[in-house]
């Protein structure tokens, strides 16, 4: 493990107590310079660490820490909760650990191989976001998989409003936006049984940009966050509320009641968009008209040989962008 990870573990085990630099160095077998660098890294990630001359360092608050205690107090449904500091992907971990008797939540402080839709990478810097996967074994058919992504989007919107007091919008089909920037992505994966047409296991990956983080240069104008103030709200509580709202909607998924709320939150409706058929580079101008009862995006083409024709798009075959 890294010096940062080991230092965080040591401070967490002694929360509220001062540890001298000498003791930390002996426990971790690292230099004072390495300790200082790791300490600064943790502070940059939002951990409240106090230093006192001739005394040492202590972890003052767990406000922004992802711990079992920070999550379980707000959970309303039974689950298996797994929390890690760093993983390649919470979806990958969930696939390996999923049990049959109850849903699972896998949470990480950082992902090194986070993935989004269509295999794109999902930037997951440490300490500033919430990266979690909800894994379960549902009792509905394969054709309901698209609903799950849309249901999760509504659940995340609800949770963010409850915890942070912020109203977010949805870009069909799986992205959430705030202040015209993307703050959340959702990736749903399913392991299926082709003999009975049922879903054996469902993996819902959710990444939320909570506070300012270090993103690649190409994402600087695209990625946003919920609050510019670190520790403005508890990431642990947000994780719990996302799970709660997801379970509430999934229990009534067949009724499609969530679709009305999804439509009201979907900001592309009524807007001109660019449709990329079969995920190609070719773009066709269209207007987003509605979301049908199957979760498809109904569009009217504005140009080309399909001009004035209506078509229903499904997530597996297109990508869309707003036409500015």
DSSP run (H or E) holding 94: helix 90-97
**pLDDT given for residue 235 in this prediction:** 94
Q: Is the separation of the CB atoms in 118 and 108 below 8 Å?
A: no
Task: Give which of 190, 165, 189, 162 is closest to 178, Cα–Cα.
Answer: 165
Distance CA 228, CA 211 (A): 6
DSSP labels for 229-297?
STTSS-HHHHHHHHHHHHHHHHHTGGGTTHHHHHHHHBTTTTSEEEEEETT-S--EEEEEEEE-TTSPE
The answer to whether the peptide bond before residue 173 is cis (omega within 30 degrees of 0) is yes
Per-residue pLDDT of the chain (324 residues; tens, 9 = 90+): 689 888 988 998 887 899 999 999 999 999 999 999 999 988 876 678 899 999 999 987 655 778 887 898 899 999 999 999 899 999 999 999 987 778 999 999 989 987 766 557 677 788 899 999 999 998 777 777 779 999 999 999 999 999 999 999 999 999 999 999 999 999 999 888 777 778 889 999 999 999 988 777 777 788 999 999 888 899 999 999 999 999 999 999 989 999 999 999 999 999 999 998 877 788 899 999 999 999 999 999 999 888 999 999 987 656 777 776
- What is the per-residue pLDDT for 187? 93
Sheet strands (E) in the chain: 48-52, 56-61, 80-87, 104-111, 129-136, 169-171, 175-178, 181-193, 198-209, 272-277, 284-291, 297-301, 310-313, 318-322
Q: Domains (ranges, CATH) in the chain?
A: 3-61 (1.10.10.10), 68-265 (3.30.930.10), 272-322 (2.30.30)
pLDDT at 320: 76
**Crossing angle of helices 32-44 and 3-13, rounded to 10°:** 80
């Amino acid at each position: 493990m890294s010096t940062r990870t080991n230092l965080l573990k040591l401070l967490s085990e002694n929360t509220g107590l001062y540890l001298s630099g000498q003791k930390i160095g002996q426990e971790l077998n690292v230099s004072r310079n390495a300790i200082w660098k790791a300490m600064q890294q943790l502070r940059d990630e939002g951990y409240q660490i106090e230093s006192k001359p001739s005394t040492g360092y202590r972890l003052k608050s767990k406000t922004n820490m992802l711990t079992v205690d920070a999550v379980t107090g707000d959970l309303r449904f039974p689950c298996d909760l797994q929390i890690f500091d760093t993983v390649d992907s919470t979806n990958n971990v969930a696939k390996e650990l999923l049990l049959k008797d109850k849903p699972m939540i896998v949470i990480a402080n950082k992902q090194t191989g986070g993935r989004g839709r269509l295999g794109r990478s999902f930037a997951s810097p440490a300490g500033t976001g919430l990266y979690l996967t909800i894994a379960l074994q549902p009792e509905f058919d394969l054709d309901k998989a698209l609903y799950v992504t849309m249901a999760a989007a509504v659940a995340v919107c609800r949770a963010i409003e409850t915890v942070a007091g912020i109203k977010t919008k949805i870009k069909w089909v799986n992205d959430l936006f705030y202040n015209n920037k993307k703050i959340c992505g959702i990736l749903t994966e399913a392991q299926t049984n082709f003999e009975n047409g049922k879903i054996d296991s469902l993996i819902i990956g959710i990444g939320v940009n909570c506070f300012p983080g270090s993103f690649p240069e190409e994402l600087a104008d695209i990625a946003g966050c919920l609050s510019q103030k670190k520790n403005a709200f508890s990431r642990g509580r947000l994780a719990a509320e996302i799970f709660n709202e997801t379970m509430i909607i999934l229990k009534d998924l067949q009724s499609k009641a969530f679709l009305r709320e999804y439509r009201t939150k979907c900001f592309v409706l009524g807007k001109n968009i660019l449709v990329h058929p079969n995920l190609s580079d070719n773009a066709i101008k269209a207007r987003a008209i509605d979301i049908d009862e199957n979760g498809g995006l109904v569009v009217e083409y504005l140009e080309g040989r399909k001009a004035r024709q209506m078509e229903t798009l499904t997530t597996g075959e297109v990508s869309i962008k707003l036409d500015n």
